[in-house]
């Protein structure tokens, strides 16, 4: 019989020093280290020359990134892992390095500087409703920085949620941001007219992406607050992507009643969210998102499917179903009018 392992301080030290992993990854992205390795730089000396850095500093950073799981090492040569080649080499179409502009912005990181006080008060230290204050400038940064991350779930949503092809369609994209979700459905369905609702400055980013997609003739905008702007229905589908988690349940229900009223009789609301299981601690990526909402919003949360189902039913929807997306941490709630 094997003896049970005793307590270990490893998790404590890994967690208390986690800021170093963030700093190392950010430094490597800023130096374009992953791209340099992908372009055939292999040794610390070669990489130092390509990245205009010291050989000592480059070696130590690369070794750290090997331990952290971002690089491989054979002898004195470094290589990219499969994930790093896909997401951290600037030449890859799935490059995610630009997301640091939003994810590590002072607005977000600053909200965690005194988390104990946030927990004691139960709300964000950013003032008011935090990042969901009207026309908050962080969302322009979000719209530009997060596009590569959202491209895959947008394509997967189109694949998993079919629409009729025998008639004209109207789609409303609420809090559209970069507009990628509406654009993805617009590309798939030539008969679809897509309307994006967001703050004016954010919509400028969506318009740029619509122009690149060649959908200008079928794309419309509504400027303003999703809780107050005229929605101009009826729509066959309303997209609610990464939006409801910013508010408490009662506020969500208020918006969902507006969505219900804007839908056609056979219309659907399609909600992309971090949806934890009923235990609220799994799956990890969805469960921990609640902490982000605690620090950055007045009353936001990561809601379970049962909670979303209750919100939609309270707003008049007949029923909802949970759709899994692969890969990724988010799930889709499809709600029938």
| pLDDT of the residue at 2 | 58
Q: What is the CATH number of domain 10-95?
A: 1.10.10.10
Please give the average per-residue pLDDT across 146-172, as a whole number. 89
Asked if pLDDT for residue 118 goes beyond 70, the answer is: yes
SS3 sequence of the chain: CCCCCCCCCHHHHHHHCHHHHHHHHHHHHHHCHHHHHHCCCCEHHHHHHHHCCCHHHHHHHHHHHHHHCCEEEECCEEEECHHHHHHCCCCCCCCCHHHHHHHCCHHHHHCCCCHHHHHHHCCCCCCCCECCCCCCCHHHHHHHHCHHHHHHHHHHHHHHCCCCCCCCEEEEEECCCCCHHHHHHHHHCCCEEEEEEECHHHHHHHHHHHHHHCCHHHEEEEECCCCCCCCCCCEEEEEEECCHHHCCHHHHHHHHHHHHHHEEEEEEEEEEECCCCCCCCCCHHHHCHHHHHHHHECCCCCCCHHHHHHHHHHCCCCEEEEEECCCCCCEEEEEEC
Domain segments of the chain as ranges: 10-95, 106-336
- Mean predicted confidence (pLDDT) in 206-216: 91
pLDDT at 128: 82
Q: Tell me the percentage of the chain whose pLDDT exceeds 70.
A: 99
**Mean pLDDT, rounded, for 268-287:** 94
What is the CATH superfamily name and number for domain 106-336?
Answer: Vaccinia Virus protein VP39 (3.40.50.150)
Q: Please state which of the ranges 22-36, 95-109, 217-231 shows the lowest mean pLDDT.
A: 95-109
User: How far apart, in whole angstroms, are the C-alpha atoms of residue 56 and residue 184?
Assistant: 46
pLDDT in tens, 232-275: 879 999 999 999 999 999 999 999 999 999 999 999 999 999 99
* pLDDT band per the 50, 70, 90 thresholds, residue 30: very high
Of the listed ranges 146-150, 214-218, 259-263, 307-311, the least confidently predicted one is 146-150
Indicate the Cα dihedral angle 158, 285, 149, 251, nearest 10°: 70
Mean pLDDT score across all residues of the chain: 92
For residues 105-120, give the mean pLDDT: 92
Residues 6 or more apart from 163 whose CB is under 8 A from it? 169, 185, 188, 189, 192, 236, 237
Per-residue pLDDT band for 3 (boundaries 50, 70, 90) equals low
Structure tokens at 119: 């927990």
């Amino acid at each position: 019989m094997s003896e049970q392992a005793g307590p270990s301080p490893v998790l404590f030290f890994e967690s208390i020093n986690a800021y170093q992993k963030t700093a190392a990854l950010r430094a490597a992205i800023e130096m374009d280290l992953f791209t340099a390795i992908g372009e055939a730089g292999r040794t610390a000396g070669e990489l130092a020359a390509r990245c205009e850095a010291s050989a000592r500093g480059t070696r130590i950073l690369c070794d750290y990134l090997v331990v952290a799981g971002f690089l491989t090492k054979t002898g004195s040569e470094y290589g990219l892992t499969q994930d790093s080649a896909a997401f951290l080499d600037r030449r890859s179409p799935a490059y995610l390095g630009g997301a640091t502009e939003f994810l590590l912005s002072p607005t977000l990181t600053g909200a965690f500087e005194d988390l104990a006080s946030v927990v004691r008060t139960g709300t964000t230290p950013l003032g008011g409703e935090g990042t969901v204050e009207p026309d908050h400038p962080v969302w322009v940064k979000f719209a530009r920085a997060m596009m590569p991350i959202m491209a895959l779930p947008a394509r997967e949503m189109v694949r998993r949620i079919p629409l009729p092809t025998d008639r004209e369609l109207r789609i409303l994209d609420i809090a559209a941001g970069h507009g990628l979700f509406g654009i993805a459905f617009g590309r798939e369905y030539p008969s679809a007219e897509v309307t994006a609702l967001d703050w004016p400055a954010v919509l400028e980013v969506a318009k740029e992406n619509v122009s690149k997609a060649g959908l200008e003739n079928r794309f419309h905008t509504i400027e303003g607050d999703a809780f107050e702007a005229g929605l101009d229905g009826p729509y066959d589908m309303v997209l609610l992507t990464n939006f409801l988690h910013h508010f408490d349940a009662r506020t969500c229900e208020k918006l969902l009643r507006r969505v219900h009223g804007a839908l056609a009789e056979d219309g659907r609301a399609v909600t992309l969210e971090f949806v934890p299981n009923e235990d609220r601690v799994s799956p990890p990526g969805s469960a921990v998102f609640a902490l982000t909402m605690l620090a950055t919003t007045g009353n936001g949360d990561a809601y379970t499917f049962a909670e979303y189902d209750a919100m939609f039913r309270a707003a008049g929807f007949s029923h909802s179903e949970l759709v899994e997306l692969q890969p990724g941490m988010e799930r889709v709630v499809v709600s029938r009018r």
